[in-house]
Amino acid sequence: MLEFRSVRKQYENGTVAVQELSMSAETGTITVLVGPSGCGKTTLMRMVNRMIEPSSGAVLVDGTDVREFDAARLRRGIGYVIQQAGLFPHRTVLDNVATVPLLSGCRRREARTRAAELLDRVGLPADLGRRYPAQLSGGQQQRVGVARALAADPPVLLMDEPFSAVDPVVRAGLQDELLRLQEELGKTVLFVTHDIDEAIKLGEKVAVLRQGGHLAQYAEPDALLAE
Ligand code: ADP
Ligand code: ADP
**Which residues does residue 80 pair with via DSSP β-bridges, in sequence order?**
158
pLDDT, tens digit, for every residue of 50-80? 999 999 999 999 999 999 999 988 988 899 9
Percentage of the chain exceeding pLDDT 90: 78
pLDDT for 227 equals 62
ipTM over 0.90: no
The amino acid at 185: L
pLDDT of 193 strictly over 90: yes
Half-sphere exposure of 23 (CA within 13 A, CB side): 24
Ligand 1 in reach of 12 Cβ (< 6 A): no
Instruction: Give the number of whichever ligand sits closest to the CA of residue 39.
Output: 2
pLDDT of residue 216: 94
Ligand 1 lined by 134 (C-beta under 6 Å): no
pLDDT of residue 166: 85
pLDDT averaged over every residue in the chain: 93
Mutation test of ligand 1: which of 42, 47, 160 has the most ligand atoms closer than 8 Å to its C-beta? 42
Which ligand is located closest to the Cα atom of residue 207? Answer: 2
Ligand 2 atom nearest the C-alpha of 9 is 12
Strands 30-34 and 78-82: unpaired
Ligand 1 centroid – CA 111 distance (Å)? 35
Residue 157's SS3 state is strand
The alpha carbons of the chain give a radius of gyration, in whole angstroms, of: 18
Q: What is the pLDDT of residues 73-94, one digit of tens each?
A: 898 889 999 887 789 999 999 9
42 lines ligand 1 (CB under 6 A): yes
Whether 174 and 15 have beta carbons less than 8 Å apart is answered as no
Concatenating the DSSP letter of every residue in 96-148 gives: HHHHHHHHTT--HHHHHHHHHHHHHHTT--GGGGGS-GGGS-HHHHHHHHHHH
Residues with CB under 6 A from ligand 2: 11, 13, 15, 17, 35, 37-43
Say if ligand 1 is within 6 A of residue 141 CB. no
Over residues 99-157, the pLDDT tens digits come to 989 988 899 999 999 999 999 988 899 999 999 999 999 889 999 999 999 998 899 99
DSSP one-letter code for 40: S
| C-alpha distance from residue 45 to each of 95, 167, 205 (Å) | 27, 24, 16
Q: pLDDT band for 210, please (50, 70, 90 cuts).
A: very high
Residue pair 151/118 in contact (Cβ under 8 Å)? The answer is: yes
**Per the confidence metrics, is the pTM higher than 0.90?**
no
Q: Is the CB of 138 under 6 A from ligand 1?
A: no
pLDDT of residue 85: 76
